[in-house]
Every structure is written in structure tokens, then in C-alpha cells.
């Protein structure tokens, strides 16, 4: 089955052709980083305007690279949420329009679940369910038990910032451009992770819930301590920047790995599936490997960690087969979708 995937939940416009849920024939991603970098984060109105501008060229390039025509598509899968409403509407409307024009079914896919599917797509051996799913992205931080593809139960999430958001905000405090995750990771390789005693957040009575806002504020106080007047630009040595990045990253990632190990233990899972942009972080992968050798960790291929339409097409294939039909035209874009 040839599936066209469409992704436009936030700041990437992507179209992909995937055969039978796994075989990626093309995966074209147009990133808006250049557009939002100057504002230090995603500006929703600019995001949806850029999606409008590029969705058709991205679709054309994706068909071209896959060497197929529109008529050869059997199913259109689109990320219908969660995400920014204006951005989502562009992808959902494109999918519906193609579905009507080609007389082919379309199916809505949950973007967060697709991040977990990205790791399954990247591994060709069969995965034994149930397992633990860990979503670490710019918008979500969640622990779920997965009984199968499409059957999830939420067991932990963040009560404030998502982990990627914390990386982005700390980077902004350090004067680094958006997105901050890769910047922090790169500085951290040259820093001392024990230089600053940052502590991961605890949520009283909830051992699987995350909180990153206190950690972000601790970094801010450390920076302001360097310069009492907030309005003045903070001047830090290159080494202090690296030490702050390394100490922040260590605190945040240690917290993630601790909770993943606890959740795997509590849920009796030995396989852990990771998804989301933060899984690009090599220090996280190494820490998980060193701290939890008893767990089998499945990571998305590096090209499938960040937002992309291949994971949407891949999961769309399974959603369509499970459901036995496509979605109706009244399927709406959804800014929030509960995990279940």
C-alpha cells in the first residue's frame, strides 16, 4: 500500500511516500527554523503562512523523489494534531482536498504517537509488546505503556514545560538561537556537568511526572547572579556557558533516565521505545545505555527524530488497517489529543 504522509503540526512542512508502513520512498522536510530563529521561538501566525507557501512544492518534490504519481497513492495520512491550530489546518485541508480530488481515503494520525512509531520504523526486527513508550519533544514529555501500535495508556507526563521546551528556553537565556536543544548539546560536550548543582524537578506524590520549570529558573538565577542588572546583556566566558549547558543537560537527562527506568520497572517492560526531537541528543542515548543495560532501547533513526511525514505515513498505514476505513470529511484539526 502506497501512503502519502503530510505533516504540518508546528514548524516543519513535510510530505513523504511510505510503502506498507515501513519502506520510505521519499521524506521531504521543509524547516521553518530560519523564519522563527530571530524571534527565539515559533510564531504561530508566521508558521501557518509558511505552510501555505510551501506545501505544494514539498508535495511535488516528495512525489518526484519517490518516482510515483498522485494516482498511484492508495491512502493519504495526515497529522491532525496535537499542534498549532493554524498550522494543522493547512495539512488537514491539503489531505482532504487530495482525498476528494483523487477519490482515495484519508486518515488522521496523532503526531505524538507517530513520534513513537518512528522508532519502530527504524527497527526491522519485530518488537515484543507490551513495552514502554517515551516521548521527548518540544511540545510533549510523556511516558506511556504500549500494548500494541495504537493502544496506549499514559502513565507519566510533564506538569509544566516539555523537555525540548526547557532546552529551548535555557538556550535563549544563554543568548543562543532557536532551536536550543542542539546548541546546548554541542556546548555541553565542552563543559563540566558538575560545575553547577542544578536539580531536576520533583512532583510531590507522582514519581513518574516531570517538572522542568524549576530547573529552567535555576539556570536563570545562576545567570542573573553573574550580573545583578537584568537589563544589561549578560557576559559569560565561553567556558561558563559550556559548564551551564553541561550541568543543565545532565540534570534534565538524568531525570528522564531515572523516570524511564522507574516506569519500565513499574510497568514490567523490558523494551523502551523513544520518540521526539530530544532523542537526537547523543548524551541521552549514551546515558540510557550506561544506566539501563538491562533494557532494550529502540531509538528513531536520526533522520526520523525531528518532525517528519514518514512517521505519519507509517503510522497512518497501521491506523487505516486497524480501523478498516479512512476518516470522514468532518475530522477536524485538534490542538490537543489525550493519549488513550
Cβ 11 to Zn ion, closest distance in Å? 10
Interface residue list for ligand KG4 (CB under 6 A): 10, 115, 137-139, 164-165, 167-168, 179-182, 185, 276-278, 280-281, 306-307
Return the one option of Zn ion, ligand KG4, none that residue 157 interacts with (CB less than 5 to 8 A, by type).
none
Checking DSSP bridges between strand 106-110 and strand 151-157, what pairing results, if any?
unpaired
- Choose between 130 and 177: whose C-beta lies nearer to ligand KG4: 177
Binders of Zn ion among 303-322, rule CB under 5 A? 307
Would residue 308 be called left, alpha or beta, if left means φ above 0 and alpha means ψ between -120 and 50 degrees? beta
Return the one option of Zn ion, ligand KG4, none that residue 280 interacts with (CB less than 5 to 8 A, by type).
ligand KG4
Checking DSSP bridges between strand 2-7 and strand 75-81, what pairing results, if any?
parallel
Return the one option of Zn ion, ligand KG4, none that residue 300 interacts with (CB less than 5 to 8 A, by type).
none
- Choose between 66 and 278: whose C-beta lies nearer to ligand KG4: 278
- Choose between 180 and 193: whose C-beta lies nearer to ligand KG4: 180
How many residues of this chain bind Zn ion (CB under 5 A)? 2
Q: Check: CB of residue 99 under 8 Å from CB of residue 105.
A: yes
Residue 144 in 3-state DSSP? strand
Cβ 240 to ligand KG4, closest distance in Å? 20
Interface stretch with Zn ion, choices 52-60, 92-100, 132-140, 313-321 (CB under 5 A): 132-140
Q: Check: CB of residue 271 under 8 Å from CB of residue 116.
A: no
Kindly list the distances between the CA atom of residue 124 and the CA atoms of 56, 212, 298, 301, in Å, as whole numbers in the listed order.
Answer: 32, 34, 11, 12
Q: What is the DSSP string of 32-86?
A: -HHHHHTTTS--HHHHHHHHHHHHHHHHHHHHHHHT--GGG--EEEEEEESS-HH
- Choose between 115 and 259: whose C-beta lies nearer to ligand KG4: 115
Q: Check: CB of residue 321 under 8 Å from CB of residue 22.
A: no
Cβ 311 to Zn ion, closest distance in Å? 9
Return the one option of ligand KG4, Zn ion, none that residue 164 interacts with (CB less than 5 to 8 A, by type).
ligand KG4
- Choose between 181 and 326: whose C-beta lies nearer to Zn ion: 181
Q: Check: CB of residue 127 under 8 Å from CB of residue 272.
A: no
Among the listed residues 13, 26, 30, 137, the single contact to Zn ion using CB under 5 A: 137
Cβ 284 to ligand KG4, closest distance in Å? 7
14 near Zn ion, rule: CB under 5 A: no
Checking DSSP bridges between strand 271-275 and strand 296-298, what pairing results, if any?
parallel
141, three cell numbers: 514529555
- Choose between 51 and 99: whose C-beta lies nearer to ligand KG4: 51
- Choose between 32 and 137: whose C-beta lies nearer to ligand KG4: 137
Cβ 275 to ligand KG4, closest distance in Å? 8
- Choose between 276 and 326: whose C-beta lies nearer to Zn ion: 276
Cβ 95 to ligand KG4, closest distance in Å? 19
Q: What is the DSSP string of 3-41?
A: EEEEE-SSSEEEEEEEETTTEEEEEEEEE-HHHHHTTTS
What residue ranges in the chain does DSSP mark as E strands?
2-7, 12-19, 23-31, 75-81, 106-110, 131-136, 141-148, 151-157, 271-275, 296-298
What is the rounded distance in angstroms from the CA atom of residue 19 to the CA atom of residue 68? 11
What is the rounded distance in angstroms from the CA atom of residue 97 to the CA atom of residue 18? 20
Return the one option of ligand KG4, Zn ion, none that residue 28 interacts with (CB less than 5 to 8 A, by type).
none
Return the one option of ligand KG4, Zn ion, none that residue 168 interacts with (CB less than 5 to 8 A, by type).
ligand KG4
Please give the residue ranges that form the binding site for Zn ion (CB under 5 A): 137, 307
Amino acid at each position: 500500500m502506497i501512503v502519502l504522509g503530510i505533516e504540518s503540526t508546528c514548524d516543519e512542512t513535510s510530505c513523504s511516500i511510505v510503502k506498507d508502513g515501513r519502506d520510505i520512498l521519499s521524506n521531504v522536510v521543509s524547516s521553518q527554523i530560519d523564519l522563527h530563529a530571530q524571534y527565539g521561538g515559533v510564531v504561530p501566525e508566521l508558521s501557518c503562512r509558511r505552510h501555505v507557501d510551501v506545501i505544494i512544492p514539498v508535495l511535488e518534490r516528495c512525489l518526484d523523489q519517490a518516482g510515483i504519481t498522485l494516482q498511484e497513492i492508495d491512502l493519504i495520512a495526515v497529522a491532525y494534531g496535537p499542534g498549532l491550530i493554524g498550522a494543522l489546518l493547512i495539512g488537514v485541508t491539503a489531505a482532504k482536498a487530495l482525498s476528494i480530488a483523487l477519490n482515495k481515503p484519508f486518515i488522521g494520525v496523532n503526531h505524538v504517537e507517530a513520534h513513537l512509531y518512528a522508532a519502530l520504523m527504524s527497527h526491522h526486527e519485530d518488537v515484543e509488546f507490551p513495552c514502554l513508550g517515551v516521548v521527548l519533544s518540544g511540545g510533549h514529555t510523556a511516558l506511556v505503556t504500549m500494548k500494541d501500535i495504537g493502544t496506549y495508556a499514559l502513565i507519566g507526563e510533564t506538569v509544566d514545560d516539555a523537555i525540548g521546551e526547557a532546552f529551548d528556553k535555557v538556550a535563549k537565556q544563554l543568548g543562543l538561537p532557536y532551536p536550543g536543544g542542539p546548541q546546548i548539546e554541542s556546548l555541553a560536550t565542552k563543559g563540566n556537568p558538575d560545575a553547577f548543582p542544578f536539580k531536576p524537578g520533583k512532583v510531590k506524590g507522582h514519581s513518574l511526572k516531570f517538572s522542568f520549570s524549576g530547573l529552567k529558573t535555576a539556570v536563570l538565577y545562576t545567570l542573573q547572579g553573574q550580573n545583578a542588572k537584568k537589563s544589561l546583556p549578560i557576559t559569560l566566558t565561553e567556558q561558563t556557558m559550556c559548564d551551564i549547558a553541561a550541568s543543565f543537560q545532565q540534570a534534565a537527562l538524568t531525570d528522564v533516565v531515572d523516570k524511564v527506568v522507574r516506569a519500565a520497572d513499574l510497568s514490567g517492560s523490558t523494551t523502551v521505545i523513544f520518540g521526539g526531537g530530544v532523542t537526537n541528543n547523543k548524551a541521552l542515548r549514551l546515558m540510557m545505555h550506561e544506566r539501563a543495560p538491562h533494557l532494550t532501547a529502540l531509538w528513531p533513526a536520526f533522520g526520523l527524530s525531528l518532525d517528519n511525514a514518514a512517521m505519519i505515513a507509517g503510522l497512518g498505514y497501521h491506523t487505516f488497517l486497524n480501523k478498516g476505513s479512512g476518516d470522514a470529511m468532518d475530522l477536524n484539526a485538534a490542538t490537543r489529543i489525550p493519549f488513550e
